[in-house]
Amino acid sequence: MSVTDVFDAVAGTYDEARRRLIPCFDAFYGTAVQVAAPPLRAALAAGRTPEVLDLGAGTGLLSLLLSAAVPGVRLTLVDGAPAMLARATDQLDARSVPHRTVHADLADDLPPGRYDAVVSALAIHHLDDAGKRALYRRAAAALAPGGVFVNAEQVAGPTPELDRRYDEVWLKRITELGASPDEIAASRERMRHDRPATVADQCRWLAEAGLVDVDCYFKEWRFAVFGGRAG
Ligand SMILES: C[S@@+](CC[C@H](N)C(=O)[O-])C[C@H]1O[C@@H](n2cnc3c(N)ncnc32)[C@H](O)[C@@H]1O
């Protein structure tokens, strides 16, 4: 089963489980929204419709939060899982948020356009490191002047010992939050497709892709939000 098949199979229950499986949910997604919002507000102030590209958008969780924080944005959601995208469409339609969905692999060319923000959450860690670097280059090239890239991501620990601690802390927290043994087992099964990289490596790849002011804006164990802006 491919990673996108795995997510398609859980599209109906995906949203409901998120807060249990991401202990720092509000700060994690909230920081990504904070990072992406300024160029979107600037576009609105200049009389333009802000364009957002969401990579591995899934059911539209980050897109929905962004469109609530900055009403008036237009979203392009890319994902390889059609059932996840169908759920995103339902949720965005219900809120009358202008958007299009693109069923594609993250290794493919990005949908043409100049974006004020290219955003992603918990998706790029499914690519191998060469795939991540190539995607970061394409994302940087797709930014409008002043645009930002932000990735809210599951990351690897800088050492095997820290990576083990990340997992230990995560397991303890999600158990406290009420994740059931079945839910944890299913999550572990999906995680077999994970290829996380460290924050340090990914920030370096973003700088190599031409972004400036590259930084990690939030980190709590394995959950980190990092990005930069168009040079
Ligand atoms: C954990 S979900 C995250 C969804 C959403 N961004 C969120 O924050 O809830 C990962 C998403 O990435 C998509 N994905 C993973 N690898 C992909 C690839 N190579 N091409 C396209 N989509 C991919 C999956 O289909 C899934 O919808």
Give me the CATH number covering residue 109. 3.40.50.150
Substitution candidate for ligand 1 out of 62, 84, 89, 129 with most atoms within 8 A of CB: 84
Query: Where does ligand 1 bind, in terms of residues with CB under 6 Å?
Result: 3-4, 7, 56-58, 61-62, 79-81, 84, 105-106, 121-123, 126-127
Task: Determine the distance separating the centroid of ligand 1 and the alpha carbon of 23, expressed in angstroms.
Answer: 19
| Residue closest to 226 by CA, chosen among 161, 148, 128, 159 | 148
Domain that holds residue 219: 3-230
pLDDT at residue 183 in the model: 93
pLDDT at residue 50 in the model: 98
| Residue closest to 187 by CA, chosen among 171, 173, 168 | 171
pLDDT at residue 70 in the model: 98
Substitution candidate for ligand 1 out of 79, 87, 138 with most atoms within 8 A of CB: 79
pLDDT at residue 231 in the model: 87
pLDDT at residue 120 in the model: 99
Instruction: Give residue for tokens 């990504």.
Output: 32
State the total domains in the chain: 1
Task: Determine the distance separating the centroid of ligand 1 and the alpha carbon of 214, expressed in angstroms.
Answer: 23
Atom of ligand 1 nearest to the CA of 84: 27
pLDDT tens column, 185-220: 999 999 999 999 999 999 999 999 999 999 999 999
Strands 74-79 and 143-154: unpaired
CA atoms within 13 A on the CB side of 188: 12
Query: Mean pLDDT for each 10-residue chunk of the chain (231 residues)?
Result: 92 93 98 98 98 98 98 98 98 98 98 98 98 98 98 98 98 96 93 96 98 98 98 87
